[in-house]
Amino acid sequence: MMNPTRAALALLCAAALTCLSACAQPADAPATKEQEADSAALTVSNARVVLPPVAGNPAAVYFDLSYSGTPGVTLQDVSVEGAGMTMIHDYAEEAGTMRMVMADSVPLGGDAPVSFAPGGLHVMAMEPSDALQAGGTAKVTLTLSNGAVTVVEAPVRAAGDER
């Protein structure tokens, strides 16, 4: 179950998105050799989509990333088929309480894996549709700052499942 603090944060999260709807999507363009190489350099493991306890609230997406491509590249955007717009969030301590904050882009590389996990970095996917059902899968698309795109099939979990 989602604890009350987390539920409150999820609500804040939903409220925060109204002013951010102008989020730019990368244009569709043919992949260059470098982008293809960088897609190959990104390994996405343990991806999962966790549905909200209350219908209409954002779903959360977690995964582990390791990256061995061009230095200086960041994770720019994550989209979830069957959900609305997404935001990359992190938690930060502010005046003694943990608050959810925007993480616009996440640096990759340096052989250091990046983990999106409960209580830390996560993707919030707004307005998850009925297409996202616990026990099913969802297509999750990760776009890097150089345009490289990686798509993974992530299992969809119910709110009460292990996150």
Which residue from 59, 78, 124, 132 is in contact with Cu ion, where contact means CB under 5 A?
124
* Shortest distance in whole angstroms from residue 87 CB to Cu ion: 7
* Shortest distance in whole angstroms from residue 33 CB to Cu ion: 35
State both tokens at 79.
Answer: 């989209």
- CA angle, residues 138, 46, 26, in degrees to nearest 5: 55
Verify binding: residue 13, Cu ion, rule CB under 5 A.
yes
Closer to Cu ion by Cβ: residue 89 or 149 = 89
Closer to Cu ion by Cβ: residue 42 or 123 = 123
Closer to Cu ion by Cβ: residue 48 or 89 = 89
Closer to Cu ion by Cβ: residue 13 or 78 = 13
68-107 footprint of Cu ion as x/- string (CB under 5 A): ---------------------x----------x-------
Q: How far apart are CA 113 and CA 101, in angstroms?
A: 21
* Shortest distance in whole angstroms from residue 13 CB to Cu ion: 4
Q: Which residues bind Cu ion (CB under 5 A)?
A: 13, 89, 100, 124
